[in-house]
Amino acid sequence: MKDIGWKLLSVAIAAIMWFMVINITQPVDTRSYSRPLVLENLGTLTSRGLTIGNAEELKSMKITVKVKAQRTALDRLTQNPDWITASVDLSELAYAVNGDAVVLPVNVSVIQGGTTYAISSKSPAVVEAKVETLATKEMSVEVEINGELEDGIYLSQPTLSNETVTVSGPASLVNHVASVKAEVNGEDLQADSEVRAKLNCYDSKDNLVKGVSTNIPEITVSFALHDVKQVPIQIDITGTPASGYQVGEVICTPKYAEVTGSAKDLEKLLYLQLGSIDVSGLTSSATRVLSLADYLPEGIFLKEGSANSVQIVVSIEAQHGKQFTLDASNLSLIGEEDGKTYTLGTAHVTVSGDNSALNTLRPSDLQGTVHVGGLTEGTHRALIRLDLPNGLSASPVYIDVTVTGEADLPENE
C-alpha cells in the first residue's frame, strides 16, 4: 500500500495510453458474416420459358463471408450486415437449355465503405444452378380452416375473391401440385367475417410444395354466420306389395338432419322430404341409402360433422291387417294460420292388431291430427297422427296438404 496514489495514477495513465493507441493505429482485423444468396437477372431465363429448378434451395443457402478491415470499420459493418451482398448472376445462362446444370461463381461485395473493406474469402465460392422448363397450370382454390371455431359459430360456405389461381414454377415441381389452399385461422373468425388468406400449394400427400408460386399471394375469403336446426326426415312409400303382404314399420337412421342456413331459410324448412321408395310387388323388406345433400333446398347446408346420408328400411310383412281410406273430415288440423286455406288429399292406411277390435273398426272410427303450422303456400306431405283404439296399430301414413292464400276481395266489398 506504499505510495498507493502514485500507483493508481500510473494505472490510469496506462489505460489512457492504450485507448490512444487503439484509436490512432487502427489495428486491422478479420471477421466472418453469414448472408443469404440472391438470384439476379432471373428474367434472362423466364423470357425464354425457363427457370431455375433448385431456386428454393439456392435462396435458402447461407454464404459465409470473411471481411478484412480496421476494427472500428468492422464494428460498423457488424451493426449493418445488410451492407454485405452475396449473389449469382443468372445472365450468364443466356444460352442454357432445359436440363443444363451450370456452375456459377458467387459474387460478394460490401455496398458501403468503398475500399475500407476487403473480402478475404467466401464459402461456398460457386453454386450449381439447374435449368428447367417454366410450367404453369390453373387450379381451383380450397379453403382450409385451422384451429377451433368459437362455440356456437357455424359458418356458411365461403365466398372467394378468386375461385382459381395460376401456379407457376419448374415443371418438375408444378406437376406435383395437387391442391392450392387458402388457409384461415378459425380462432380469428367472427360472424360475417371477411379475412385475407395466404395461398399455399400442396402435393397429393398434403405436403407443402416449395419453389412454386401463385399469380396472387393471397385472396379474400368471406363467411356468414348460420343458425343450426334439426329437421325430421320424411320419405314417400309408393306402390303396393305383393298380394298378401303389407307395408310395416318404416325406419330412418338418423331420424333428423342437422342443417345450417340463415334464420329466415331455416324457419321455412319444417321437414326434409326425400325421394320415394317403390314397394310394388315386394315380399321382403327394402333398404335404401340416400344422400341428404341431394334434397337440400337452396341456401341450406348440412352441418359439418353431421350425417350426410340416411338409411331407410321399409318393412314388408305378411298381411294381417285391414286397409281403410281415411275420411278427411275426421282429421283435425293443428297450427292453422289466418288468411290460409288448407285442403287435404286422400290417404290410405293399413290397421293391424287384435282381431276382435279390428273386425268392429269402421272408417268413421279413424280419427287423427295433421300439423300444418308454418306450411307455406303450395302442396306438402304431412304426417297423420292417428288416434287408434287399444290393441291396434298402423304404419306411418302421410297425406297431401295444399295451402292457398285468402282470395283478394273486390274493392267495393
- Domain boundaries defined on the chain: 27-41+52-127, 133-226, 227-318, 322-405
| Stronger pLDDT, 364 or 149, i.e. the higher one | 364
pLDDT at position 337 over 90: no
pLDDT at position 410 over 50: no
Those residues with Cβ within 8 angstroms of residue 337's Cβ, 6 or more apart along the chain or in another chain: 373
pLDDT at position 354 over 90: no
Query: Which among 310, 296, 309, 222 has a CA at the least distance from the CA of 259?
Result: 296
Query: Which among 268, 247, 249, 246 has a CA at the least distance from the CA of 259?
Result: 268
Same fold, 27-41+52-127 and 322-405: yes
Q: Are 309 and 293 in contact (CB under 8 A)?
A: no
CA dihedral 275, 276, 277, 279 (to 10 degrees): -170
Query: What's the mean pLDDT when you consider all of the chain?
Result: 86
Q: Are 160 and 181 in contact (CB under 8 A)?
A: no
**pTM (global) more than 0.75:** no
Architecture of the domain delimited by 27-41+52-127: Beta Complex (2.170)
pLDDT at position 75 over 70: yes
Q: Which three cell numbers stand for residue 170?
A: 419448374
249 — pLDDT class (breaks 50, 70, 90) = confident
Query: Which among 98, 173, 182, 161 has a CA at the least distance from the CA of 137?
Result: 173
Architecture of the domain delimited by 227-318: Beta Complex (2.170)
409 — pLDDT class (breaks 50, 70, 90) = very low
CATH 3.40.50.10540 describes domain 133-226: no
The pLDDT assigned to 150 comes to 62
Query: Which among 253, 247, 215, 216 has a CA at the least distance from the CA of 233?
Result: 253
- What count of residues does the chain have? 413
C-alpha–C-alpha distance, residues 84 and 106, integer Å = 13
Q: Which three cell numbers stand for residue 181?
A: 389452399
pLDDT tens-digit map of 195-212: 888 999 999 999 999 999
CATH fold of the domain at 322-405: RNA Polymerase Alpha Subunit; Chain A, domain 2 (2.170.120)
pLDDT at position 304 over 90: no
413 — pLDDT class (breaks 50, 70, 90) = very low
The pLDDT assigned to 227 comes to 76
Query: Which among 199, 180, 185, 196 has a CA at the least distance from the CA of 155?
Result: 185
Q: What is the mean pLDDT of residues 120-142?
A: 94
